[in-house]
Amino acid sequence: MKKTNENVHKLLKILNDLEYHDGSNLGEALGITRAAIWKLIKKLKAYGIAIQSCQSKGYRLLKPLILLDEKKIKAAHNTAKMHLEIFEKIDSTNDYLKKQALSMQQIAICLAEMQTAGKGRLNREWYSPFAENIYLSLRYPLTTDISQLNGISLLAGLAICKAIETLFPMLKPHLRVKWPNDVWISGEKLAGTLMEIQAESHGNCQIIFGIGLNVNMQQVPKTSITQKWTALTKATNTYIDRNPLCASLITQLIAYIERFLNKGFKDFQTEWKKRDALTQRTLRLSTGTQDWEGDYLGINAQGHLLLRTRQGKQLSFAAGDATLLKY
Ligand code: BT5
């Protein structure tokens, strides 16, 4: 686990013009040796960054690459209330916040350029390549009793949609939430969320929202993602600076949590319905121990999924995986 090296920031700022830069000139600009530049380049290549090396001309970045930048992300927020950390490489941003014992009064945010053990639900893997996507966790201290938090995990997907459409209004008609924790564009997974709760002995609890949002990812090794996926770059046809998006995600997530604390999940039901990817679909619901098939009837005021089975029985589920069936 380490914070992003300042020299990596400086080097990429120069290479972002996609022109060749000679090792000695780069060394001069950064105040380090040519050998140190070579080492940085080697590290970036090992992270999967496409850099062309040419003995006579130097180094050239093949695609633009803007790193996460604390100043840009913080500029949009009241930072007194917030503790923000950005890592170059970490196991899991959610796990990091779970291990930290920060003041209960502060909202804590952890971002990383890459995760080596990014996780989904039920210990599934979250594929997290370097500097392509957003891996963000936000911890929010609560004094609410856990029994009052029904449905809160569904907020993250709604907040992601809102954050994206604020910056990319043309995507609004295409963004969908898929119960319980996905954001989809055209039936492909754009983002996944993982909510974890830690209860404290004196009745307080910490809630950690983890967001994995595909931004500039274009290709993945064959076996790393086991379902259809997409990324914002595909939907917008541009390279996207992740910094304004991170700021927007933080703003919206905090706003949605605070609205939930004031009004409860009921207040989000209409919004969920508008964005629901499962409306009028037939699906298979797997709980891990059993599978059910039937018609989707929406979600209830607790955020539970409602299903009418083929036998006409109505069931509600607090957790599970939903798969669309084509009939
Ligand atoms: C999720 O789980 O969708 C929750 C993902 C949460 C990831 C964030 S990243 C920041 C924070 N820190 C963490 O360690 N985690 C959170 P689930 O519904 O179980 O979906 C997992 C499945 O999604 C995998 O089995 C793959 O099929 C698929 N998947 C993995 N990586 C993906 C990616 N980058 N894009 C789309 N799908 C992916």
Residue 187 contacts residue 228 (beta carbons within 8 Å): yes
Query: Please, which pLDDT band fits residue 102 given cuts at 50, 70 and 90?
Result: low
pLDDT score recorded for residue 75: 84
If you measure from the C-alpha of residue 44 to the centroid of ligand 1, how many angstroms do you get, rounded to a whole number? 24
Residue 37 clears pLDDT 60, i.e. is over it? yes
Nearest atom in ligand 1 to the alpha carbon of residue 115 is 14
Mean pLDDT over 41-58 rounds to 94
pLDDT score recorded for residue 101: 65
If you measure from the C-alpha of residue 311 to the centroid of ligand 1, how many angstroms do you get, rounded to a whole number? 33
Name the DSSP letter for residue 221: -
Residue 1 contacts residue 90 (beta carbons within 8 Å): yes
204 versus 25: the higher-pLDDT residue is 25
Query: Please, which pLDDT band fits residue 327 given cuts at 50, 70 and 90?
Result: low
Nearest atom in ligand 1 to the alpha carbon of residue 220 is 34
pLDDT score recorded for residue 2: 72
Query: Please, which pLDDT band fits residue 100 given cuts at 50, 70 and 90?
Result: confident
Ligand 1 in contact with 193 (CB < 6 A)? yes
CA distances from 258 to 177, 253, 313 (A): 20, 9, 36
- By alpha-carbon position, which residue is closest to atom 25 of ligand 1? 124
- By alpha-carbon position, which residue is closest to atom 20 of ligand 1? 120
206 versus 93: the higher-pLDDT residue is 93
pLDDT score recorded for residue 78: 64
Residue 125 clears pLDDT 80, i.e. is over it? yes
- By alpha-carbon position, which residue is closest to atom 9 of ligand 1? 212
If you measure from the C-alpha of residue 214 to the centroid of ligand 1, how many angstroms do you get, rounded to a whole number? 10
Q: In the chain, what percentage of residues exceed pLDDT 90? A: 84
The pTM of this model reads: 0.95
pLDDT score recorded for residue 79: 65
What's at 85, amino acid-wise?
A: E
CB atoms within 10 A of CB 43: 14
CA distances from 284 to 42, 229, 292 (A): 47, 19, 6
Q: pLDDT per residue over 138-194, tens digit each? A: 999 988 888 889 999 999 999 999 999 999 999 999 999 999 999 999 999 999 999
If you measure from the C-alpha of residue 118 to the centroid of ligand 1, how many angstroms do you get, rounded to a whole number? 7
- By alpha-carbon position, which residue is closest to atom 11 of ligand 1? 210
Nearest atom in ligand 1 to the alpha carbon of residue 217 is 34
Mean of pLDDT over the chain: 93
Query: Please, which pLDDT band fits residue 266 given cuts at 50, 70 and 90?
Result: very high
Ligand 1 in contact with 303 (CB < 6 A)? no
Q: pLDDT per residue over 192-236, tens digit each? A: 999 999 887 776 788 999 999 999 999 999 888 989 999 999 999
Nearest atom in ligand 1 to the alpha carbon of residue 118 is 14
pLDDT score recorded for residue 143: 83
Ligand 1 in contact with 226 (CB < 6 A)? yes
Ligand 1 in contact with 23 (CB < 6 A)? no
Sheet holding 205-213, edge to edge: 2-3, 82-89, 107-112, 134-142, 205-213, 188-199, 182-185, 175-178
pLDDT score recorded for residue 103: 58
If you measure from the C-alpha of residue 211 to the centroid of ligand 1, how many angstroms do you get, rounded to a whole number? 8
CA-CA distance, 174 to 235, in Å (whole number)?
9
Residue 126 clears pLDDT 80, i.e. is over it? yes
- By alpha-carbon position, which residue is closest to atom 27 of ligand 1? 226
Ligand 1 in contact with 214 (CB < 6 A)? yes
Helix, coil or strand: residue 228: coil
Residue 77 clears pLDDT 90, i.e. is over it? no
pLDDT score recorded for residue 94: 97
Ligand 1 in contact with 98 (CB < 6 A)? no
Nearest atom in ligand 1 to the alpha carbon of residue 136 is 10
Query: Please, which pLDDT band fits residue 104 given cuts at 50, 70 and 90?
Result: low
Pocket test for ligand 1, best of 97, 126, 160 (most atoms within 8 A of CB): 126
Q: In the chain, what percentage of residues exceed pLDDT 70? A: 97
